[in-house]
Amino acid sequence: MVVTIAQQPFSMAKVSASSWNFAVRLWLATILALLVSFWLQLEAPSTAAVTVAILAEPTRGQALEKAAFRLVATIVGVTASIAITGLFSQARDLILAASALWLGLCVFAAKLLDGYRAYAAVLSGYTAANIAVQQIDNPQHVFEASVERGAAIAVGIMSIAVVNVFMSAPDRHPRLAAQLAAIHRRVRDYASATPRGNRGNSATFLALVQEIVGLRPQIESIALESSSGSVRSAAARSAAVGLVAELQAARILTTAPAHFDIAARDQTSAAVDRLDGSSLQWRMPARSVDLQNHVPDATTETSSWKIRELLRIDETVRQDLLALRSVRWPSRLQRAPLYRSCRIAADSAVRATLWFAIAATFFVWAGWSAASASLYLVAAIAALGLTTPNPRGYTAIALVGAPIAVVVAGILEFVVLDGADAFPVLAIALAPSTIGAALLTTSQNPLWSGLGRINLIAVPTILALSNPQTYNPQTFLFTSLFVVAATAVLLAAQMLIPPASDDKQRMRLLAEARDELQEPDTKDSDPNEAAFRDASRIAQFLSAGGVRDDHALSEMLSCFDRSATVRLCNAKLMQLAEGPFAQLAHQAHAAIAARDTASLRAIAIELREKASHKDSVEADVAACLVLTSDIIDGRSGAHSFQEAT
Amino acid sequence: MAHSFPELVIGGVLVAPFVTYLVAALVVIIVLRPILHFVGFAKMFSNARIAEVSLYVTILGSLMLLF
């Protein structure tokens, strides 16, 4: 998304000051981590440096959140590796099989999560591969190795946390607030463009859905930024959930029936045009929308209700954004649930297990005793790749990046340092490679940023810094060989068993959306939260190449419209469940479940006749019922999208 | 009188007493967070993050002094 900044930011060598700041911070944190680990005489000081490289996130909250998850995941992974080694200490092959299964289990969990939670899940998978497999020949050292690893990771985390605080790493929340406000403006624009018959904006709708859902991990990570972080996070979460609901309400405005007359449409436009104005105009009471002088038939009432609903949601979003800016708790706490497809997750898990098993078979068959390091890398790259949209592309970038990292590490070790044993020399020697790689990671181009990230992590891994450094060319050669071999073997395994195709994932998501429509979730959840969950499914669908598949996309959107409307209607009917209209509400519930639109319309007419006044709850419910029957009849979503494309 | 530090031994591995204090101070900070938000701690300082780190160090030092 684009946040325009008025003044031109300071830049040096075409790289912005914030990127330089980030790169220098990272270099300082690496040096600090190495210094402390050397001083504490840790067994694996390079793990601390690698931890810093892994926690290389541009903002403080993200680095802290990733650090917390890294620590927790390491503990889980270490426990698993102790269990695996304890169970199968006499049988090497069984340790490999158990590690493969554990990796699969963790990938399954990761595919059900997002952001750093997914990272934590895969990390606990490949930590077991690291510790259990590396100690395969001396299982009695598993606990010591785990404690050493844990200590080095803790040192890495503290180094980057301290450097981030004192080098004023930026906070994420000001930018998040700006992004949410910008999205809010665009949702309003979308809403005001909609009733003017401008239907070519399905692309806008999809882009907005993707952006809102894409902010979810960042909303979680601002919780750790300061003592008020959790308040900001809650407000931002409510705002994001509200934005999806507002977007949905705006989209429903397009479901204007064919006989929606011109006068009503103009009035709708006029009402929604108030969205464009300042917030003062905007705060005009929702119910004052003037459609009264028009003939109050069902259509007009439904459209006026739709606008009231849109205005109501917009007001709550505005309040939430205000709460975010002024650091107050939002009026109501909402969850932002993620859509979880167990079938897709299981599919990926099986593939990850098989890739690891193929690579393990190859290395066992090759008979290299030091190949355990390769297996660790296979597990790490396979698992991390599965948290990205294109796992094989990730491995391919790793295969390109590994030789570059080998060359950089070789130059560092045998040309630049070449036997040096003074710490300041090491610190200066690390500067070009660390800062260079960190600058690359800030690039917009995914290839460059991928290569930067791989170099950032692989160079300290290959260097295997220790105190004193051994400068053994043979060790270097073997390590380099195994790093390259790991990526090559994994890519070969992924050629043999390709990752789940986009088509298959799309079909699965669509089938699940369809199933859910047939058997709606009876759990008593908030309609807005459920709409957010459906929106996250659309985002997953789009990231699996959904834009190219017009037919499936329109069906997906139609499922979204229908389930959202039915849920909204059910929630509205709950308001009548206690009063004198309980019987009618019950009938309406049954009619919705049976998709019986004729009865729904009849109930709506009855409710409207019995309604005390035009703005009563009963009239609202009646309008909602008419809308639901329109949408169930299919005068909506799918059709308008097809017209648009 | 010399201050004796509590020792933590997990599975035969001796964990430095300092680590125990670090974790305890972190727990105290996490418990304090809602109170800090309530009193508007972040608004009192121009650089809230350094203030929070200082608070952490203060708590860490007090814990070591008192326990």
- For A434-451, the pLDDT digits (tens) are 999 999 998 888 889 889
Beta bridge partners of A372: none
pLDDT value of residue A302: 75
Numbered residues of chain A with Cβ closer than 8 Å to any chain B Cβ: 60, 143-144, 147, 162, 165-166, 168, 171, 226-228, 230-231, 327
Closest chain B C-alpha to A174 CA, distance in angstroms:
14
- On the question of pLDDT at A126 being above 60, the answer is yes
Choose among B13, B33, B53: nearest Cβ to A165: B53
Answer whether A227 sits within 8 Å of B47, measured CB to CB. Answer: no
Beta bridge partners of B10: B13
How many beta-carbon pairs below 8 A join chains A and B?
Answer: 35
Residues in A touching B11 (Cβ below 8 Å): 143
- On the question of pLDDT at A216 being above 70, the answer is yes
* SS3 assignment, position A11: strand
Instruction: Supply the mean pLDDT for chain A.
Output: 82
Q: What 3 state SS string does A490-512 have? A: HHHHHHHCCCCCHHHHHHHHHHH
Instruction: Find which of B9, B28, B33, B39 to mutate to test the A interface (most A CBs within 10 Å of its CB).
Output: B33
- Is A506 in contact with A389 (CB distance < 8 Å)? no
Model confidence band, residue A390 (pLDDT cutoffs 50, 70, 90): confident
Answer whether A226 sits within 8 Å of B42, measured CB to CB. Answer: yes
Closest chain A C-alpha to B10 CA, distance in angstroms:
10
Answer whether A230 sits within 8 Å of B37, measured CB to CB. Answer: yes
pLDDT value of residue A303: 74
Residues in A touching B54 (Cβ below 8 Å): none
**CA–CA separation, A527 vs A569, rounded Å?**
9
Residues in A touching B32 (Cβ below 8 Å): 227
Weakest mean pLDDT among A342-346, A424-428, A557-561, A572-576: A572-576
Model confidence band, residue A578 (pLDDT cutoffs 50, 70, 90): confident
- On the question of pLDDT at A283 being above 60, the answer is no
DSSP class per residue in A194-220: GGGT--TTHHHHHHHHHHHHHTHHHHH
Count CA atoms closer than 13 A to A17's CA, side-chain side. 8
Partner A contacted by B47 (CB < 8 A): yes
Answer whether B42 sits within 8 Å of A327, measured CB to CB. Answer: yes
Instruction: Find which of A227, A230, A232, A333 to mutate to test the B interface (most B CBs within 10 Å of its CB).
Output: A227
Q: What angle do CA A373, A377, A380 make, to 5 degrees?
A: 140
Answer whether B37 sits within 8 Å of A168, measured CB to CB. Answer: no
**CA–CA separation, A253 vs A301, rounded Å?**
13
To the question of pTM greater than 0.90 for the whole model, the response is no
Count CA atoms closer than 13 A to A404's CA, side-chain side. 17
- On the question of pLDDT at A88 being above 50, the answer is yes
Residues in A touching B18 (Cβ below 8 Å): none
- Is A378 in contact with A355 (CB distance < 8 Å)? yes
Closest chain A C-alpha to B58 CA, distance in angstroms:
15
Choose among A143, A147, A228: nearest Cβ to B37: A228
Query: By C-alpha distance, which of A176, A163, A129, A167 is closest to A149?
Result: A129
Answer whether A147 sits within 8 Å of B13, measured CB to CB. Answer: yes
Model confidence band, residue A294 (pLDDT cutoffs 50, 70, 90): very low
- Is A218 in contact with A62 (CB distance < 8 Å)? yes
Place of tokens 């108030």: A274
Interface of B with A in 10-29 (CB under 8 A): 11-13
- On the question of pLDDT at A426 being above 60, the answer is yes
Longest dimension (CA), chain B: 46
Answer whether A143 sits within 8 Å of B11, measured CB to CB. Answer: yes
Place of tokens 């963790």: A106
- Is A40 in contact with A29 (CB distance < 8 Å)? no
- On the question of pLDDT at A256 being above 80, the answer is no
Closest chain B C-alpha to A230 CA, distance in angstroms:
9
- Its ipTM equals 0.81
**CA–CA separation, A77 vs A349, rounded Å?**
17
Q: Where are the domains of chain B?
A: 15-66
Residues in B touching A228 (Cβ below 8 Å): 36-37, 42
**CA–CA separation, A559 vs A517, rounded Å?**
7
Smallest CA–CA distance from A163 into chain B, residue: B50
Which runs of consecutive H residues, i.e. helices, occur in A501-581? 502-518, 527-543, 550-576
- For A27-57, the pLDDT digits (tens) are 999 999 999 999 988 888 888 999 999 998 8
